[in-house]
Amino acid sequence: MTGEAPFLMSPSPSERPILVDIADLRLSFGANEVLKGIDLTVARGEAVSIIGPSGSGKSTILRCINALLVPSSGRITVNGVRVDALRTEAERIELRKRIGIVFQQFNLFPHLSVLDNITIAPIRILNVPKAEAERHAKELLDRVRLSDKVAAYPGQLSGGQQQRVAIARALAMRPDLVLFDEVTSALDPETVGEVLSVIRSLVRDGMTSILVTHEMRFAEEISDKVLFTENGRIVEEGSPAAIFHRSQNPRIRQFVRGLGGERDDLGHGGGI
């Protein structure tokens, strides 16, 4: 910014406005209580990773934030909007315009080109002019290092390339928040690094994000805050150093040791 002292640092997460505020979030499917009182805040520009064993409620938290699941009780506020109070699908769709989500599976339209996969939502939902949507899509494809795949179809891409298109598609809506739900779990080990490299770049540029991941080294590297969940509860929350290296909880230490060595590819081969 013109006139700003070059040595000024960006505010720390504790000094930034809160974008996501969750209090006593509970969700049950019949007699099965999946979330048992989740409390979480995410500041604007913060990257938060949620780790823990399968079935611990990690992905369920993301789906509640994006109004894909309706909580049994508790409060979810995203950028001033009470998500838990939304009652109609139209209200939920309006919320999802501002929250991007990237799933394990890519969910691309197989009959549409890469460009059309990225532009379809901005054009149809946000009423962005086609030329503007295509210009932005091409910028995003360049960002995720797929500028040569504009005219390709999903079936012509590797899994890692499809996931990068899915990330570009989420960003095309210019969201306030992006949720990543185990986005590397369906990928071959050789393609994991290219996806992580894209996410790393976005986080470093200040994108507010919540990541559910089993990539321990990656979570340690890019996160401002890490949460460990088990049995529907947040067992411990803290800085990456506190969770990965100083936790006194034997369950967390066992989990981190067990997963920490699974993959060593953090995508350092020429980040963007």
Q: Is the dihedral of CA 148, 152, 158, 161 positive or negative?
A: positive
Q: Report yes or no: 39 and 24 within 8 Å, Cβ to Cβ.
A: yes
User: Residue 216 — very low, low, confident or very high, per pLDDT cuts 50/70/90?
Assistant: very high
The pair of three-digit structure tokens given for residue 64, joined into one six-digit string: 């509640």
The predicted structure's pLDDT at residue 6: 42
Superfamily of segment(s) 17-98+177-190+208-265: P-loop containing nucleotide triphosphate hydrolases (3.40.50.300)
3-state secondary structure of 127: coil
Q: Is the pLDDT at 3 greater than 60, yes or no?
A: no
Which residue bears the tokens 């532009």?
A: 119
The average confidence (pLDDT) of the chain is 90
Q: Where are the domains of the chain?
A: 17-98+177-190+208-265, 106-174
Which residue bears the tokens 């520009």?
A: 45
- Whole-angstrom distance, CA of residue 134 vs CA of residue 118: 8
Residues 6+ apart with CB under 8 A from 104: 181, 182, 183, 185, 186
pLDDT (mean) for 57-79: 96
The predicted structure's pLDDT at residue 14: 64
Q: Report yes or no: 53 and 88 within 8 Å, Cβ to Cβ.
A: no
The predicted structure's pLDDT at residue 186: 84
- pLDDT, tens digit (0-9, with 9 covering 90-100), for 101-114: 999 888 999 999 99
The backbone region for 145, taken as left when phi is positive above 0, alpha when psi lies in -120 to 50, beta otherwise, is: left
Q: Is the pLDDT at 224 greater than 80, yes or no?
A: yes
Paired strand residues for 100: 178
Q: Sort strands 209-212 and 225-230 into parallel, antiparallel or unpaired.
A: unpaired
